[in-house]
Amino acid sequence: SAAEKGGHDYFMLKEIAEQPQAIADTLLGRLSDRGEIVLDEVRLTDQDLRDVDKIFIVACGTSYHAGMVAKYAIEHWVRIPCEVELASEFRYRDPILDRSTLVVAISQSGESMDTLMALRHAKEQKARVLAICNTNGSTIPRESDAVLYTHGGPEVAVASTKAFLTQLVACYLIGLHLAQIRGVMYADEVAAVVEKLQQTPDSLRTLLGRMEEVRELARDLKTASTVLFIGRHVGFPVALEGALKLKELAYMHAEGFAAGELKHGPIALIDEGTPVVCVVPSPAGRGVMRDKVVSNIQEVRARGARTIVIAEEGDEDVRAYADHLIPVPATPTLLAPLMTTVPLQVLACEIAAARGHDVDQPRNLAKSVTVE
Between strands 101-107 and 128-133, the pairing is: parallel
Strands 41-42 and 146-149: antiparallel
| C-alpha span between 114 and 146 (Å, rounded) | 19
Least distance (Å) between residue 4 CB and ligand AGP: 20
Residue 108 in the binding site for ligand AGP (CB under 6 A): yes
Residues 62 to 91: which contact ligand AGP by CB under 6 A? 62-63
Q: Alpha helix (H) ranges present in 147-260? A: 162-181, 187-208, 212-221, 235-250
Q: Specify whether the backbone of 224 is left (phi greater than 0), alpha (psi in -120 to 50) or beta.
A: beta
> Which H helix or E strand runs over 314?
none
β-pair type (82-86, 54-59): parallel
| Bridge partners (DSSP) listed for residue 76 | none
What's phi and psi for 75, nearest 5 deg? -65, -35
| Interaction of residue 160 with ligand AGP, rule CB under 6 A | yes
**CA neighbor of 109 nearest in space, from 90, 92, 131:** 131
In the complex, the smallest distance separating the C-beta of residue 109 from ligand AGP, rounded to whole angstroms, is 3
User: How many binding residues for ligand AGP (CB under 6 A)?
Assistant: 16
Least Cβ distance, residue 107 to ligand AGP (angstroms) = 3
Question: Where in 297-356 is the site for ligand AGP (CB under 6 A)?
Answer: none
Measuring CA to CA, how many Å separate 318 from each of 200, 212, 270, 278, 325?
23, 21, 20, 11, 8
The interface mask with ligand AGP, positions 193-232, x = CB under 6 A, is ----------------------------------------
Out of 123, 222, 247, 367, the active site residue is 367
The binding track of 119-158 with respect to ligand AGP, each residue x by CB under 6 A or -, is ---------------------------------------x
Contact string (CB under 6 A) for ligand AGP, positions 88-107, x = contact: -------------------x
Instruction: Count other Cβ atoms within 10 Å, centred on residue 13.
Output: 23
Q: Which of residues 3-32 bind ligand AGP (CB under 6 A)?
A: none
Smallest separation, CB 52 to ligand AGP (Å): 23
Q: Of 300 and 359, which CB lies nearer to ligand AGP in the complex structure?
A: 359
Spatial separation of the C-alpha atoms in residues 294 and 278, rounded to whole Å: 9
Annotated catalytic residue 367:
yes
Give least dist CB 63 to ligand AGP, A.
4
Residue 171 as a binder of ligand AGP (CB under 6 A): the answer is: no
SS3 59: strand
The CB-of-349 to ligand AGP minimum distance in angstroms stands at 11
Q: How far apart are CA 351 and CA 349, in angstroms?
A: 6
List contacts with ligand AGP (CB under 6 A). Answer: 60-63, 107-109, 112, 115, 158-160, 248, 365, 368-369
Q: Which residues are catalytic?
A: 367
